[in-house]
Amino acid sequence: MKINWRKILWWTVVIFALYAVYKSPEQAASAVRSVGDWISTAISSIFNFFDRILQS
């Protein structure tokens, strides 16, 4: 019998995330906001990079 480690890891992460939200919703919301801000900044930086290339 082969163990599917990816599935086990995925469910472990999901269960931990649900537990974290249940125990401390304020901290979980802050973490999600931080990740969202980071993604937004990264995408904005990529767009600015390509805009500068096209303007040259």
Q: pLDDT tens, 4-31?
A: 999 999 999 999 989 999 999 999 899 9
pLDDT exceeds cutoff 90 at 2:
no
Q: In this predicted model, which residue has the larger pLDDT, 48 or 56?
A: 48
Q: In this predicted model, which residue has the larger pLDDT, 8 or 2?
A: 8
| Residue boundaries of the structural domains of the chain | 5-55
The whole-number pLDDT of residue 36 equals 96
Gap between the Cα atoms of 42 and 30, Å rounded: 18
The whole-number pLDDT of residue 50 equals 96
Gap between the Cα atoms of 33 and 45, Å rounded: 18
